[in-house]
Amino acid sequence: MGVIERATSGGQIAQVGATGAMPRLQAAFLEAHRHGVGRATYGLALKTLNRVMPIKILRGVIIERPRPEFLVCPEGYEPAFLAPDLLRRFSLDPETRLSPGFVEEAVSKGDECFGILRNGRLATYGWYSSRPTRIDPPEMRLRFRYDYVYMYNGYTHPRDRGLRLHAIGMTLALREYLRRGRKGLVSYVESGNFDSLKSCRRMGYAEFGSIYIVRLSGRHRAFSSPGCRRIDFRVERATGTA
Domain ranges of the chain: 53-237
- What is residue 74's DSSP assignment? P
pTM value?
0.80
pLDDT at 29 over 60: no
Selected residue with higher pLDDT from 123 and 28? 123
pLDDT of residue 23: 59
User: Per residue in 172-198, pLDDT tens?
Assistant: 999 999 999 999 999 999 988 888 899
Q: Does domain 53-237 have CATH number 3.30.1330.90?
A: no
Are 215 and 54 in contact by the 8 Å Cβ rule? The answer is: yes
Distances (CA, A) of 78 to 115, 160, 175: 8, 13, 16
Average pLDDT over residues 75-79: 98
| % of the chain with per-residue pLDDT over 70 | 77
Average pLDDT over residues 196-201: 92
